[in-house]
Chain A
Amino acid sequence: MKAFEKTEGIVAPLDRVNVDTDQIIPKQFLKSVKRTGFGDNLFDGWRYMDEGEVGVTPNERRVNHEFVLNRPRFQDAKILLARRNFGCGSSREHAVWALMEFGFEVVIAPSFADIFFNNCFKNGLLPIVLNEEIVGELFEAVEAEENFALRVDLAAQTVATPSGQVFGFDMDGLARDKLLRGLDDIGLTLDAVDRIRAFEQEYFERRAWLGTARERVVLDELDEGV
């Protein structure tokens, strides 16, 4: 996973509550077996006037010029400013992949849905929780100032405005360290392989119906009917 230390970039405002992952990346684009190729279809239903299909390129589409991400000043945005409960609904990690591929490195919101929040950390997208009041001020600042950019420093856990205002944010220590170093979660868990094996052995002793007996039912009788 790509490491994240700090970034500075244009902020794009998405002024809606409860943005669900169906909006972030609609289902017709989930048929891919790859982790890439989702950026052009980020917020597809809002970015374009016509229905998106797999394999149709953006220049063949009817663009919705009203939609915020289509405004020229937000073309190179790296930071998405959102309202509460961002990323609710479906567990699709494609939502995170699409945001990153579009160019976003950070999403700032007053709250996130649990699964989306978790998925961010698996990919190096930084979700920052700031309170409603600060988020409200940032929305006003973006509206007021062309090229409004923020500086985000993960190690220091700060978001800084051009005028020098600095907001601290909370973050789980281990999640932060993993992002800073771009570490693979699976590798970390497998460091505890002996502990997992020991647990498993003891667990199947007290929950015998889940152990070898089940293995026989699930695997050995693969060809047996209903």
Chain B
Amino acid sequence: MDWLSLPYAPQSPEAAAKQRMATLYDKIWADHLVGERADGQQILYIDQQLLHEVTSPQAFEGLRLAGREPWRLAANLATPDHNVPTEGRDLGLSGIDDSVALEQVVTLDDNCKRYGIRQFDILDVRQGIVHVVGPEQGVTLPGMTIVCGDSHTSTHGAFAALAQGIGTSEVEHVLATQCLVQRKMRNMAVRCSGALAAGVSAKDLILKIIGDLGTDGATGHTIEYLGEAISALSMEGRMTVCNMSIEAGARAGLVAVDDVTLEYVQGRPFAPVGALWDEAQAHWRTLHSDADARFDVEYQLDASSVAPQVSWGTSPEMVVGVDETTPDSVSSGDPHQADSIRRALEYMGLAPGQPITDIQLDRVFIGSCTNARIEDLRDAAAVLRGREVAGNVKQAMVVPGSGLVKAQAEEEGLVEVFTAAGFQWRDPGCSMCLAMNPDKLLPGEHCASTSNRNFEGRQGHGGRTHLVSPAMAAAAAVRGHFADVRDML
């Protein structure tokens, strides 16, 4: 066959490292390049695969039907997150009432046992949203290539890891070969100068970026986030930014390694220690774009100009500052865009030109792989301290990103703040971000949500999602409508 005789041309990593003008993406790519085929497709070695119950069963089945074995067991880590219930966790599997969901969680258990893949199961304190668990455990390390059958895998790019969401066929491909066959993406730089104002967070920054770029603005690109506003972010904040790269169309987002990265990673259970740590650190320090690196596309933003953001429509690009209104010029510009704005306003039950602060909320959800880390919970709790959820809000809930985040929040006394304010304190999982478990919106309900997608029906059939930061969600819960958290600090 024609591709059997492909001229593999492995590139020496030293040669790649010496390449001038390399971006961070170029460097990680070169470091993992197994070979290049004549047609330009490249074989990339994958260091780590993360598995969850929803997109892995068909991959394991495929592996079994073809009589193949996983290439490298230690390169895999599994945890159930998408459809686990967030109440009654001590019941374990018997707490899952939905028999179809139960079968999926049990199937993940069975597959992990059968092949000997490490899993943090439903009763493990380390269980949680896969994109919270990986970094928390030090499974995610700088310079790695990481995949998961989940588009928010881009989260791990905060560690200068090339992390990409893949489909189930590719999950199987990576299980079987430890490689991914890809064409290299183009490089895009998103430069954020200045400093975020008090009350304005990483979430507001990335929502603003998506609003500017559009949901397909970065399609075909890997984004690197650069600039002082990014350097000033904690790892949690950087994860929030990278997490939503896919909402601008980019499969992967990256942030360079610095002291903040290394301090976060050191001492995590799966991180290297001793001489290996020193060796790893020396390599990780090189994980940044060269000063003269060239990007195919550049986008700049002054972070100090960013206001707290609220999405008003049914696409993450449909976002404005809390002090603004829904769009009122629906007939202007591109007719397809105008049509989608009109449809979105109709679905959301909003009028053109309506002030964002007029939108009344039925529910508030703090959670998801975007905003369920300890810092997110601290941000929300800071706003809620000494305040209460407004009477018109039927439900306000906090779903921590992992069992360990939950434990830490309890230790820090955050849980008392949330419950005193009237929030429900739940067990970890994806929960109402995509409503595969029992947590969902009813038709027509408006929800202030710290999640990542406001697509039609995402949080429940007919539900109306507004994407916001944790602090803005807390402010909305207290006021019963959107409010500028900067006035509540």
Contact = CB atoms under 8 A, between A and B. Distances in A.
**Are A and B interaction partners?**
yes
B165 A186 contact: no
A207 B283 contact: yes
A173 B455 CA distance: 34
Contact of B150 (A91, A192, A199, A207): A91
Interface in A71-127: 83-85, 88-94, 96, 111, 113-115, 118-119, 122-123
B35 A222 contact: no
Nearest to B144: A210
Taking chain B's interface residues, is the majority helix, strand, or loop, or is none over half, making it mixed?
loop
Given A91-B55, A174-B37, A33 B118 contact: no
Interface string A12-40: 00011110101100111011111100000
Interface in B370-390: none
Contact of B215 (A18, A28, A192, A206): A18
Contacts of A215: 74
Contacts of A45: 456-457, 461
A169 B333 CA distance: 28
B272 A31 contact: no
Contact of B55 (A93, A123, A218, A222): A93
Contacts of A51: 443, 461-462
A174 B39 contact: yes
A122 B169 contact: yes
A209 B68 CA distance: 27
Interface residues of B, number: 95
Q: What is the size category of the interface that chain A forms with chain B?
A: 35 or more
B3 A85 contact: no
A31 B56 CA distance: 11
Contacts of B219: 85, 111, 113-114
Interface in B26-68: 32, 34-35, 37, 39-41, 43, 45, 47, 54-55, 57-58, 61, 66, 68
Contacts of B336: 16-17, 83-84
B267 to A, nearest CB: 12
A173 B83 CA distance: 39
A60 interface: no
Nearest to B217: A85
A24 B185 CA distance: 26
B168 interface: yes
Nearest to B462: A51
Contacts, number: 224
Nearest to A203: B45
B384 to A, nearest CB: 28
A196 B43 contact: yes
A214 interface: yes
Nearest to A93: B167
A56 interface: no
A226 interface: yes
A54 B100 contact: yes
Interface stretch (B172-180, B191-199, B472-480): B172-180
Contact of A27 (B74, B126, B178, B435): B435
Contacts of A214: 74, 270, 272
Contact of B166 (A16, A28, A91, A218): A91
B107 A209 contact: no
A219 interface: yes
B280 interface: yes
A197 to B, nearest CB: 10
Given A16-B343, A196-B34, A213 B276 contact: yes
A34 B54 CA distance: 10
B104 interface: yes
Given A16-B339, A91-B151, A174-B37, A191 B3 contact: yes
B241 interface: no
B464 interface: no
B337 interface: yes
A34 B56 CA distance: 10
Contacts of B272: 209, 213-214
Interface string A182-226: 001110111110011001100100111110011101110010001
A20 B340 CA distance: 13
Nearest to A178: B3
Nearest to A213: B276
A184 B144 CA distance: 27
Interface in A43-83: 45, 51-52, 54-55, 83
A88, A119, A172, A203: residue with the most chain B Cβ atoms closer than 10 Å: A88
Nearest to A184: B66
Contacts of A217: 269-270
B8 interface: yes
A-B CB proximity, top 6 nearest: A122-B169, A33-B57, A209-B272, A93-B167, A51-B461, A119-B167
13 contacts: A20-B453, A31-B436, A32-B100, A35-B61, A54-B100, A114-B185, A115-B166, A190-B176, A196-B179, A210-B47, A214-B270, A218-B77, A226-B404
Given A186-B68, A189-B181, 6 more contacts: A31-B83, A113-B249, A186-B66, A186-B173, A190-B177, A219-B73
